[in-house]
Amino acid sequence: MAEIGKNLQIASELLNQGEVIAIPTETVYGLAGNALHADTVKKIYQIKGRPENNPLIIHLPDFDQFEKYVRNIPQNALRLAEKFWPGPMTLLLEKTALIPDQTTASLPRVAVRIPNHPLTLSLLNMLDYPLAAPSANPYGYISPTSAVQVKEQLGDKIRYILDGGPCQKGIESTIIGFDGEIPVIYRKGFITPSDVETVCSEVKIHENRDQEIITSGMSLSHYAPKTPVFLTKHIENFQDHFPVEHTGILAFTTCHPLVPREFQRILSPSGDLAEAAKNLYLAMYELDTMKLDRIVAEFLPDVGIGMAINDRLTRAANQIIS
């Protein structure tokens, strides 16, 4: 069973031996290993149960070694990096030969990020390779935002979980690729389209098409609890669709008067979208452990970070109800 601790020495030694451990970031916990080592990368896929055609993000401590791993960097990528790193943003850039095909699932681009977490930045500074890390959940399930959540999901498959406390942002990074110089958002996140527009004059949003999976966060039925999730704009009327008994509520600001309090999670009583993002996955996870028949979740205002939260809720949902 995995040990939870804050010991960077243990963490770096295990990584140097080619092991996979869990690390904290400001978004969600990651399942990390040497990104330059094909066998370690294979272990990450195995532990996560993730199809090998679904590439990983590499994590670096700073810009120093950047050009060893990526090339032909658009000017706008540099501008975004300057503004938002370290932080919850991942850039898709052309890889160099140092990055093995296993890490990018043979794609020509590699996903790169400088995370903003002091413990993980210290760890990355101790290593002479980047860390490949997908979110530390079994494939398709809810991403973990605490060390205990990682232990409950993958504790029997790894030896060490570096404990960085609860994740401050709570949803996965915004993924941005480039069409020439134009940034294209592939996965919504904490860095919003209008944040990108403060740096680049134009931004495109890559809309999901059926069958096409460019990033796993784009596949439907992702980030999903095992309990069926129904998503609605009118949570106050959910009892028109379902019995009140055995229903869990995931609401933005307000409790439902008919449902016992213990079966409800309120994401932000004051209506703060950043706080809602931070609480989202733990709330989903807790409701999922209650053996309820269904979870009814509420759409959040579709602005700013609300767009990223609604994206995750939509992927978690089995059905949208009126």
Label the pairing between strands 30-34 and 182-187: unpaired
Q: Binds 215, which of ligand TXA, Mg ion, none (CB < 5 to 8 A, cut-off by type)? A: ligand TXA
Q: What is the largest CA-CA distance in the chain?
A: 59
Instruction: Give the number of other Cβ atoms within 10 Å of residue 11's Cβ.
Output: 25
Q: Binds 54, which of Mg ion, ligand TXA, none (CB < 5 to 8 A, cut-off by type)? A: ligand TXA
Q: Binds 214, which of Mg ion, ligand TXA, none (CB < 5 to 8 A, cut-off by type)? A: ligand TXA
User: Which is closer to Mg ion, CB of 135 or CB of 279?
Assistant: 135
Task: Name the site residues for ligand TXA (rule: CB under 6 A).
Answer: 25, 27-28, 30, 54-57, 90, 92, 104, 107, 109-111, 113, 115, 133-135, 172-173, 175, 214-217
Question: Residue 181 CB, nearest distance to ligand TXA (Å)?
Answer: 18
Judge whether 255 and 209 are in contact, CB under 8 Å.
no
User: Which is closer to ligand TXA, CB of 113 or CB of 188?
Assistant: 113
Task: Name the site residues for Mg ion (rule: CB under 5 A).
Answer: 135
Is the bond preceding residue 86 a cis peptide, omega within 30 degrees? Answer: yes
For 198, which DSSP code?
Answer: T
Beta bridge partners of 23: 30
User: Which is closer to ligand TXA, CB of 57 or CB of 273?
Assistant: 57
User: Which is closer to ligand TXA, CB of 248 or CB of 306?
Assistant: 306
Judge whether 148 and 136 are in contact, CB under 8 Å.
no
Question: Residue 41 CB, nearest distance to Mg ion (Å)?
Answer: 15
Judge whether 173 and 27 are in contact, CB under 8 Å.
yes
Beta bridge partners of 30: 23, 135
Among 245, 262, 264, smallest CA distance to 254 is for: 264
Question: Residue 138 CB, nearest distance to Mg ion (Å)?
Answer: 10
Question: Residue 175 CB, nearest distance to Mg ion (Å)?
Answer: 11
Q: Binds 162, which of ligand TXA, Mg ion, none (CB < 5 to 8 A, cut-off by type)? A: none
User: Which is closer to ligand TXA, CB of 124 or CB of 214?
Assistant: 214
Question: Residue 312 CB, nearest distance to ligand TXA (Å)?
Answer: 11
DSSP reduced 3-state for 291: coil
Q: Binds 28, which of Mg ion, ligand TXA, none (CB < 5 to 8 A, cut-off by type)? A: ligand TXA
Q: Binds 27, which of ligand TXA, Mg ion, none (CB < 5 to 8 A, cut-off by type)? A: ligand TXA
Strand order, beta sheet including 247-251: 264-266, 247-251, 294-298, 229-232, 319-321
AA letter at 12: S
DSSP reduced 3-state for 167: coil
Question: Residue 136 CB, nearest distance to Mg ion (Å)?
Answer: 9
